[in-house]
Amino acid sequence: MLDLQERKKLSRLAEKNETPFFALSLERLKANEKKFLKELHSFFPKAQACYSVKTNPLPQVLKALGTGFELASLEELEAVKSKKVFKVFNGCCKREKELKEALKQEAIIIMDSFSELEKLIMLKKKLGLKKLEVGVRLNVESKFGIELREIPKFLASAEQQGLKVILLHAHPGAGKSLQEYRQFLQKVKKALPLHSWKFVDLGSGFPSFARLAEQNVSLQQYFQLVKEELGTTLLAEHESKGKELGTTFIFEPGRILVADAMFLVCKLHCLKELNNEKIAILDAGINVLQRIVLENFQFTPLIESNGAKSVVRLAGPLLFGNDWLGTTNSNLQEKDLIVVENVGAYCHSLAWGVSYKKPEVFLV
């Protein structure tokens, strides 16, 4: 929810700039990062957080964060080139120039297929590298990774060519419930005895803190599941081999850090009534607020008006029949400013250039 100071700051920005525009709150971003790391390290003191750059690659975001990075393209690698932090390079379509840059930045390359393994082996020989530490992605019902039954073969092939596999990666997908997350962890658990893993990277997929609160669920409950499902298994594996627990968990927070750290400010340009339904036309639509983002957008008048409230259906400016955004229960008037909350994850990255340019970003 917007607080009074944020409303004042957004109002000042709206006085000086055309709508629609994004407003990034570094204060919220840093608070989310601090909260995430505190809760993570209360369960796993050695755990590494690698921000998912694709979620929001704005330079202001990358500069503000003190985490490592999960990267998926040359553009993302270039964006964090100057930051000497822990990095993993992920994805299922890695080009040679991307692999070279990842190696230059000492990122752990996560192999997604046997084809990628062969390409990396060839590149290793081409560059004259004797040893190389890499990761492998486990398939868990998606297009990504290698099937569980193929992991031993992959490990053997990699080791024969001087590649040391140190990391197991898997990702649950976005917005999983606690029960779904437990099922995901149980699949990962089956791969733990196959190798001595230095790192187990579980991706993220955590909802935003705001969405967790709505669902009456906490981040600690997710970490508790990791401890229950994987922690005891890893401890048993290491104890059976006479070693201390040496596996480090990696998480790739994205949405949970940035979703509520950015706002979209737009303007209501037209009120109309169709088929006994009130409709408000805004100057931002599905070109900015796409459904693929999988976020629960909140639409709030920047300045609340007195008077009777009513349900209004919100639509964007595009010449597309499906340019519907949601509803709000408010007393709306033309020229009102509307703030859309929870737009920090993917909205700016995925914004189209259809009919209108991508909204500018300002700090708030």
Domain locations in the chain as residue ranges = 4-23+262-363, 26-258
Say yes or no to pLDDT of 111 above 60.
Answer: yes
- Angle of the 114-127 helix axis to the 96-104 helix axis, nearest 10: 60
Say yes or no to pLDDT of 244 above 70.
Answer: no
**CATH number for the domain running over 26-258:** 3.20.20.10
Q: So what's the pLDDT on residue 205?
A: 87
The pLDDT tens digits for 190-200 are: 999 999 999 99
From CA 125, how far away is CA 128, in angstroms rounded?
Answer: 5
Distances (CA, A) of 225 to 121, 140, 189: 36, 17, 12
Say yes or no to pLDDT of 243 above 80.
Answer: no
Quickly state the pLDDT bin for 236 (edges 50, 70, 90). Answer: low
Q: So what's the pLDDT on residue 238?
A: 53
Q: So what's the pLDDT on residue 294?
A: 75
What is the mean pLDDT of the segment spanning 32-40? 98
From CA 3, how far away is CA 11, in angstroms rounded?
Answer: 12
Angle at 145 (CA atoms; ends 212, 123), nearest 5 degrees: 125
Q: To the nearest 10°, the Cα dihedral for 188, 193, 194, 197?
A: 80
Quickly state the pLDDT bin for 242 (edges 50, 70, 90). Answer: very low
287's CB contacts (< 8 A; 6+ apart) are: 316, 318, 351, 352, 353, 354, 355, 356
Topology, domain 4-23+262-363? Lyase, Ornithine Decarboxylase; Chain A, domain 1 (2.40.37)
The pLDDT tens digits for 114-132 are: 999 999 999 999 999 988 9
| Residue with token string 């992920």 | 90
